[in-house]
Amino acid sequence: MTRLVYVAGYGRSGSTILDAYIGRELCSSGGGELWRLFDEYATDGTCSCGKPLPQCPVWGPVTQKALETFGTDVETASAITRSAEFGNSGHAEWSRLWHLVFEEYGSVTGAPTLIDSSKTSGGQRRLSLLRQFSVLGEQMIVVHLVRHPTAVGASLYKGKNSQLAKGIKTGAVRRNFDVGRGAIGWIRANDSAANFRDLGPRYLTMSYESFVKDPHQLVRALQKLGIGASDRPPSAPHVVAGNRALHVHSGKAIRVQSSPAGTLPRLWQPAMRGLEIVGTRKGWFKP
């Protein structure tokens, strides 16, 4: 059975690059933000392999077969996913649907491990549902990824990734609003991720800054838990959604950014210092 490594925490924390790095180093498969699979598929979103998802050699057949077996279309599958993960309904349908997705994924790829970097922000309940309905829950490892709040704030202040990719600049008022909302979201998302500490050794906390200094430390920790024991050769990553600017295509080196890409106005420094204290006291990372 395919094992699941779930990357939890807040957005803008480096999950896309961590996802791809683990996948390459452990001959596993980085899936990206899988909660958005059906949304992206419906709009011909691009996989990190460079092809639209319906034409992707992995997610194309996986999604098509899962939908056929379930007996629904992609729009309904998207609605089921959103209702269960961000609402409080349709849990049984969600469980059956995603059991099928993971089952087909294993059949198509033969990969021993799948990485889901959907995280735990925005009130999302995906991680809880995966565990509650045993959708690979018994084989699941949670990597709680935490990036320093100042770096997250600087990333948010740049603007939305989708708009940046199109060369669209957001006004300062909107960007400051996003930083403020992000500060609250950072606490909530990391609190939600920390709720899975009862998984014991299958719950790993990793700061992005520590990952940058020694990317292989996480690989070593996962290997101790049995991830990566495979003769399967590495393949091109097939990452769904996430930070498109960091999508890693076949043949390209994976580079880890060591510093925040952008600056944050000084007015946010006290707030970020406060978040750092909160994160340190809660044991999410070391200052």
pLDDT single digits (tens) 129-150: 998 877 665 678 999 999 999 9
Domain assignment of residue 287, yes or no = no
Per-residue burial over 257-285, b = 16 or more CB atoms within 10 Å of its CB, e = otherwise: eeebeeebeeebeebbeebbeebeeeebb
- Examine residue 164 and state whether it is found in any structural domain, yes or no: yes
Percent above pLDDT 70 for the chain: 85
198 domain residue, yes or no? yes
- The answer to whether residue 286 is domain-embedded is no
pLDDT tens for 191-202 read 999 999 999 999
| Model pTM score | 0.89
Residue 153 lies inside a defined structural domain of this protein: yes
What number is the average pLDDT over the span 236-258?
58
pLDDT given for residue 151 in this prediction: 92
User: Residue 276 pLDDT > 90, yes or no?
Assistant: yes
Q: Based on C-alpha coordinates, what's the Rg of the chain?
A: 18
Q: Which residue has the higher pLDDT, 162 or 87?
A: 87
What's the total number of domains in the chain? 1
Average pLDDT score over the chain: 85
Any domain includes 249: yes
Mean pLDDT for the stretch of residues 206-230? 86
Q: Say how far apart CA 146 and CA 9 lie, in whole Å.
A: 6
State the pLDDT confidence band at 252, using cuts at 50, 70 and 90. very low
146 DSSP β-pair partners: 207
Q: Is residue 150 part of a domain?
A: yes
pLDDT tens digits for 154-189?
Answer: 989 987 766 666 677 788 899 999 999 999 999 999
pLDDT at position 250: 40
**27 vs 212, which has greater pLDDT?**
212
Q: How many residues does the chain have?
A: 287
Name the pLDDT band for 57 (thresholds 50, 70, 90). very high
Kindly tell me if the per-residue pLDDT of 248 is higher than 80. no
- Domain of 192 in residue numbering reads as 3-281
CATH number at residue 134: 3.40.50
